[in-house]
Structure 1
Amino acid sequence: MEKISLVAKHAQDKSETDNIFGVNSAANAKAEIVGKENIVNASIGAFLDASGKLITLPTVEKTMYSLPFDDVANYAPIAGLPDYINAVIDVTFGENKPDAFVKGIATPGGSGAIHHAIWNYTEEGDTYLTSDWFWGPYKTMAREMMRKIDTFMTFDEEGKFNLQACIEKVEALAKVQKNVLLILNTPAHNPTGYSLTDDEWQALIDAFTELCNKKENNIILFVDIAYMDFAPEGSRKFFKKFSNLPANFLVLVGFSMSKGYTMYGYRTGCLLGISSDEQVITEFYDVNQFSSRGTWSNCTRSGMRLLIDLWKNPELMAKVNAERNEYRESMEDRAHTFINEAKEVGLKMCPYDSGFFITIPTTKAEEVGLKLREDNIFLVSLKKGLRIAICAVPAEKIKGMATKIKKAIDQIEG
C-alpha cells in the first residue's frame, strides 16, 4: 500500500527515538525484577540522591513557593522581565563582565537560546559547527530548521582541546558561508565534562579575530553554559576575553536555570548577546524578540520572578550558592571515585574537569552498553562511546563501575 503523508515536504520523515529515556525505561523495568537497590542507572542528566529522587536546592524551592500566584500566573514581556535580564547578566558574568554592549532575551531554557542563534544567524541550508562529542539536540535542531551540522575532532592525541581542528573547520566554512556559527559547550561539557582553559580560549579568540579583520565573514560564537554553575570557582574568567572584539564577531551565551537552580521543568533561560558595536546588539535584541513572538511568545514568569527575588536578596543568593556548592562537591567526589578506579584498571576516558557527565570512548558502544545491562549497569550509548551521568549515581554505587565497564569493553572489543 502506498504511503500517505499529509505533512509539508520539509517535515516528512521526521522521527527520533530518545535514547536517554529509552535507557532509563529499561533500567526501571530491570529494577522491577532485581530491585532498585541493585541497579546503577546512569542515564538521566539530573542530580539525584541515593533513592533516585531529584535533588533540588532548598532555598530555591522555598522562594518559589513564596511568590504570589497572581503575579507568577500573569504574562511576562516577550523579551523577559527587565530585572530578570539584569539578574541573568549579573549571575552569569559576576566580576567578569566583558567590556562590551550586552543585552538579553528570555528563552525557554537553554534550548530556546540555541534555537534563536541557529535561526537568526544562519541561512536555510547553511552549516553550523560544534565538537564531535556533542549534545544530541544540536543535530535535531539542524534538521528542524533546515540547516546542517558539521563537527571537528574535540580532542587531540594528547587529550587536549583540538584547537587546530576547530580553527581549520571554521576557516573552511568561512570560504563558503558569510556567517560562521560555532557552538561550544563549556565549562563542564556535555557529555565529556571538559572545560576549555584560558589559553585555549585566547587562541580561539585570536584566530577568529584575525579572520574577522579580513572583513569577509561574520563569526557567531555561541557559548552554551548550561553546566557552568557546577564548574569550579574561577570558571567565569574567560568572559572577560569577549571585550572589544571586532564588530563582525558576535558572542552569544546560552544561560539556563535548569541545572544551576535545579529548575529543569520550569524552562527558564536567556540568550545573551555581547558585541563591541551598539548597532549589532540593538539588532540582536530586535530580531530575537521578534522570533520569540513568532514561536513561544513569552516565557514562564515564575522562573524569572524567582531569580529576581534571589538576586535582589544577597542573603538568599548566598544560601543558594552555598547549597549548590555542597552538591557540586558531592558530585566531584563521585567523579573522583570513578576516575581513580578507571586509572587503576586502565579504562580510557575522555578528559574530565567537572560537571554531570563522564564519557568512555568505545567503537562498539551499543554492544558494550547491552553487555553492561547484564551487570545491571545502564549507560547511554553515543556514536563513539558511553555516557555516564555521574550526577545520577549515588556515591555508594560508583565503586566497581569502572572495573565492570573495562571488563565489558575488553570482552566486546576483543
Structure 2
Amino acid sequence: KNKRLKDAIFGAAAACKEATLKHGKDKVTNATIGVMLDDNEELITLPTIEKVFKEIPMKELVAYAPISGLPEYLKAAENLTFANCRPEGYTSAVATAGGTGAIHHAIMNYAEIGEKVLTSDWFWGTYNVICVEQGKKLQNFTLFDENRNFNFASFKENVEDILKVQESILIILKTPAHNTTGFKLTEDDWDKVLDLLKTYAAKGKKAVVLTDIAYIDYAGEKNEVRSFMKKFGNLPENILGLFSFSMSKGYTFYGQRTGALVAVSSKKEVIEEFNEIMKYSSRACWSNINRGAMELLLRVQNDDNIYKSFEKDREEAHKLIQARGDLFMKEARECNLPALPYTGGFFLSVPTDNPQKVADLLHEDLIYAVPLKLGVRVAVCSVPIKKISGMAEKMNNALKKA
C-alpha cells in the first residue's frame, strides 16, 4: 500500500530538539508540542491525579476491562461530557483509546468506504490519516469568512455538495478550543448548523455530527462552554450527535490513551445499534482499553474532596495557558499580526501563503512552530510566558520576509 506517515508536528519537534541540543533550552522557544509545560518547561501533571494514580492497587491497574469499558466509567464519561447541559434523548458511551479512538470509531461506523467526511480547512491532520486508512475521503469547508467568523455559507455549500451524492454525511467539528486555532462556534453558529441538517433530515437524509471536545476543559467555564450540547436534544431520529471525550488533556493522562465516544439520539434503537457496532469495532481494534485509567477517573469523580482538589489543579493549569494565549493575542494586535481568533485552548494559528518559509525564518530567532497547509500553528500550552513576550512581533517580521 506504500503507506508512509508524514507528520508536520513531529518534524518540527525534531528540528526543535536539535536546536535545543546546540543552543540550550533557555534560548530556544518550543511551540511545537501539544502538551502543557510549566514555566520551567517541564511536563505538567495535575498533582491530585498523580496522587490518586499511585494509590490504585497494581491488580486494578493491569487487569482486563470489559470490551465497551467499565459501566461506571461510561456513566461518568457521559456526565463529564455534558455536565449540566445534557441534551434530552437517549444517550450512551463506549470506552475508546483516547479521543483519537473515538474519532476512529465514528469514521469507521458512520461513513462508508469511498464516501466523504466533512470537516473544516483548519483541522487536526489525524482526521485525514484515519479517513485514508479506512478508504474514505476528507472534504474541507472554509472555516472562516472574510470577517473571521464561522463561514456558514461554505459549510452549507459543502454539505449540499456531499448530500447530492451520499445518503448520509459525517461531519467533524472541533469546538470549543479548536485545534489548530483556539476558535469556537457560537450558539448562533450551532443553530444554523443544526437547522440546515434538519432540512436534509426532512428529505430522508441522515447526518452524524461528531463534536471533538478534546480541549473543552481548557476553553472556559464548564457549563458555559457546553451550553450548545442541549441543542442536540429532540433532533430528528436521522440526526445523531456524537462527542469525543478524552482523558489526555483534562486529566493530563496523555499516554494512557483513555477516552470515550458519547452518543445522543431521539430514537432508542439508534443508541442500541450504536452500542453493538461500537463494541464490535472495539473488539476488532484494541479489544479493551486501559482499566487503570478508568479506575482513576472513577476514584476522582466519586470522592467530593478529591474532585474539588482535582478541579482546583486543573483550573490553575487552565489559567496558565490562557494567560499565554491572551498575551500572544494582545501583542499580535499591537503589531498587526493577523492571528486567527483565539478564545482558549492549547493552540493558536497565524495564516500565511508560505507556512514552511515562515517557520524556517522563525528558526533564525530559535522559535519552532508547526507549518500547516494554511498557516503556522503555535502551541501556547508549551511555551513559558516569558518566551511568549515578543513572539508575535518576531512572527510578524517572518511573515513580511516570506
Could you tell me the TM-score, scaled by structure 1's length?
Answer: 0.95
Say whether residues 1:362 and 2:372 are aligned partners. no
Superposed structure 1 runs of 4+ greater than 2 Å apart: none
Separation in structure 2 between the aligned mates of residue 62 and residue 404 of structure 1, nearest angstrom: 41
Kindly provide the CA deviation profile for residues 53-91 of structure 1, in whole angstroms up to 9, marking residues without a partner as x: 110110011111111111221000000000000111111
**Aligned twin of 2:219:** 231
Deviation of 1:176 after TM superposition, in Å, equals: 0.5
- The answer as to 2:78 corresponding to 1:89 is yes
Which residue of 2 is the match for residue 165 of structure 1? Answer: 154
1:374-385 mapped onto 2 (5 Å cutoff): 374-385=364-375
Instruction: Give CA-to-partner distance per residue, 1:164-219, whole Å, 9 cap, x none.
Output: 2112211221110111000000000000000111111111111111210111x110
TM-fit CA distance, 1:132: 0.2
Q: Which residue of 1 aligns with 2:383?
A: 393
SS at match of 1:203: helix
CA–CA separation in structure 2 for the residues paired with 1:162 and 1:341: 26
Distance 2:390 2:339 in 1: 16
Give the letter for the 1:363 counterpart: D
The corresponding residue for 1:295 is 285
Distance 2:254 2:170 in 1: 26
Aligned pairs for 1:116-135 within 5 A = 116-135=105-124
- Which residue number corresponds to residue 190 of structure 2? 201
By how many angstroms is 1:48 displaced?
0.4
Instruction: Decide which of 60, 67, 83 is 1:78's aligned counterpart.
Output: 67
Which of the numbers 314, 331, 341 marks the counterpart of 2:331? 341
The letter of the residue matching 1:82 is P
Question: Whole-Å Cα distance in 2 between the matches of residues 163 and 320 of structure 1?
Answer: 38
Partner in structure 2 of residue 191 of structure 1: 180
Aligned with 1:47 (options 8, 30, 36)? 36
Mean alpha-carbon deviation: is it higher for 295-304 or for 316-325?
316-325
Of stretches 286-295 and 311-320 in structure 1, the one that deviates more from structure 2 is: 311-320
Aligned residues with identical type, % of pairs: 43
Letter in 1 for 2:234: N
Gaps of 5+ in 1: 1-11
Aligned to 1:255: 245
Counterpart in the other structure of 2:303:
313
Structure 1 range deviating more: 27-36 or 40-49: 27-36
Which amino acid in 1 is paired with 2:209?
A: L
**What is the CA-CA distance between 1:50 and the residue it aligns to?**
2.4
- Letter aligned with residue 399 of structure 1: S
In the TM superposition, what whole-angstrom CA distance separates every residue of 1:347-404 from its partner, at most 9, and x where no partner exists? 0011111000010000011011111101100010001100000000001111110111
Which residue in the other structure is 2:262 paired with?
272
TM-fit CA distance, 1:51: 2.6
Residues 81, 243 of structure 2: 8 Å contact kept? no
Aligned residues: 400
CA distance in 2, matches of 1:198, 1:263: 30
Letter in 2 for 1:176: V
Query: What do you get for the CA RMSD once the two structures are aligned?
Result: 0.8
2:348 corresponds to which letter in structure 1? I
Name which of structure 1's ranges 226-235 and 308-317 shifts more when overlaid on structure 2.
308-317
Gaps of 5+ in 2: none
3-state DSSP of counterpart to 1:64: helix
Match of 2:27 in 1: 38
Tell me by how many angstroms 1:243 deviates: 0.5
1:27 deviates by 1.1
Alpha-carbon distance, 1:98 to partner = 0.6
Cα deviation for residue 18 of structure 1 reads 2.2
Shift of 1:105: 0.4
